[in-house]
Amino acid sequence: MNSKPGTLRERLRKIHVLNELSDDALDLLAPQLTWIEAEKKGQVIVSYLAQAHSVLFLVEGKCRAQLTPTIGRPVALRRLNPGAHFGEIALLAGTPRTVQIVADGACLVAECPVSAFEELMRANPGFARAIAASLARTMVALTERVFELATLDVRYRLYAELSRLAKGGKRVGSGVLIEDMPTHADIAETIGSQREAVGRELGILTNEGTLERKGRTLLIRDIEKLRKWVRRRVGPMTSLLVE
């Protein structure tokens, strides 16, 4: 990918864990990166059990981390938005890739080799802290997902997922507007359900006036109502308390 140094620096500055780096550090990093452009939804960026030789930065577009069994439906573990990074767990643990990373559409990814990643960790304490904090947040999120799967039926798992999606939406009065809403199939992969069950529950919420849907846009009229229902079932949850 050919770009001027200033342009590359601006792209890398969008990556959350790189925010602490100086312009000079970003300029040193940029030439070491390999740029990957995914053109369509479903394109595999990182394969499950592949050898780990790099960390990847999601500059544009969206991806999801998932596991795909030999028999059965894929299970989406988390969504990755612009500014996210992935691949550091296998690299730090010295294991093959633990999940598959799949594009949700056209996206741009910068691949950082292990040598450059390790040098960033050594030379920039702020970067090392950001990686550690990100790993901790991932652990909290995955722990809550396991808890939901073990304790909640489909309806309340859907409410929890809508609450998480709402954190990236736009406030509209007491509600939240979610643009580019995931498909029913994508939500089903995330909450361990089926597309038909997700559609049925969304339909119930729409008919009772809690939701308003138009194409890929979803308006949750009262987000606290959904969160309250989840808390009544399982108590306070970290991911639903953080705005």
How far apart (Å, rounded) are the C-alpha atoms in residues 178 and 88? 29
% of the chain exceeding 90 in pLDDT? 65
pLDDT of residue 243: 44
> What distance, in Å, lies between the first and last C-alpha atoms of the chain?
36
CA distances from 239 to 52, 84, 213 (A): 29, 17, 24
Does 50 score more than 60 pLDDT?
A: yes
152-165 pLDDT per residue, tens: 999 999 999 999 89
Q: What is the mean pLDDT of residues 221-241?
A: 80
Residue 239 has pLDDT above 70, yes or no: no
Rg (C-alpha) for the chain, rounded Å, is: 19
pTM of the model: 0.84
Q: Which 8-state DSSP code applies to residue 128?
A: H
Q: What is the pLDDT of residue 38?
A: 94
pLDDT tens digits, 140-153: 888 888 888 888 99
Q: How many angstroms separate the Cα of 138 from the Cα of each of 86, 95, 132, 134, 142? A: 11, 18, 10, 6, 6
| Of the listed ranges 56-70, 111-125, 223-237, the one predicted with least confidence | 223-237
Q: What long-range pairs does 149-154 form, CB within 8 A, spacing at least 24? A: 149/192, 151/233, 151/234, 152/230, 152/233, 152/234, 154/191, 154/193, 154/197, 154/198, 154/201
State whether residue 100 is helix, strand or coil: strand
- In terms of phi and psi (left: phi > 0; alpha: psi -120 to 50; beta: otherwise), the region of 180 is left
Chain-centre distance for alpha carbon 38: 17
Query: Which residue shows structure tokens 């030789």?
Result: 53
